[in-house]
């Protein structure tokens, strides 16, 4: 079970890093903000759902290897659920209203959360190993 926990946590970490530092920046570079924004808006619900599911699977499988690691993965799932259900709709609403100040504040919170989740996931991976 530890091997599965390691693999699923590594998949989670890799997916989060790729989305944040690969997929999204490349879209902005290739398409520009006007074309990228609707693509990301449509992609985020699926991305968040995938993070939640993989974090739950990884967390459950990690319980025998590291309770703290499992709890951290559970925290990633829970905070991602909140980001998907609360933060993302508020970001979208601010964008739709043209409220740049609110968008920047909420988007900044979203980015900070994502970076924290990446660090926490990496730490969980170490704990499980």
Domain-wise residue ranges, the chain? 2-128
The pLDDT of residue 67 is 98
pLDDT along the chain (129 residues), means of 10: 95 97 92 91 96 98 97 98 97 96 97 98 98
The pLDDT of residue 94 is 96
Cα torsion 14, 20, 23, 26: sign: negative
The pLDDT of residue 20 is 94
The pLDDT of residue 103 is 95
DSSP string spanning 66-95?
A: -HHHHHHHHHHHHHHHHIIIIIHHHHHHHH
The pLDDT of residue 1 is 84
pTM for this entry: 0.94
């Amino acid at each position: 079970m530890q091997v599965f926990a390691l693999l699923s946590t590594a998949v989670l970490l890799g997916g989060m890093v790729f989305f944040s530092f690969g997929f999204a920046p490349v879209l902005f570079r290739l398409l520009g903000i006007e074309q990228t924004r609707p693509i990301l808006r449509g992609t985020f619900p699926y991305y968040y759902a995938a993070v939640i599911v993989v974090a739950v699977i990884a967390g459950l499988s990690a319980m025998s290897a590291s309770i703290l690691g499992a709890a951290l993965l559970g925290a990633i799932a829970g905070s991602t659920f909140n980001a998907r259900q609360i933060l993302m709709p508020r970001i979208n609403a601010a964008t739709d209203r043209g409220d740049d100040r609110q968008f920047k504040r909420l988007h900044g919170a979203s980015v900070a959360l994502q970076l924290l989740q990446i660090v926490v996931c990496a730490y969980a991976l170490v704990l499980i190993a």
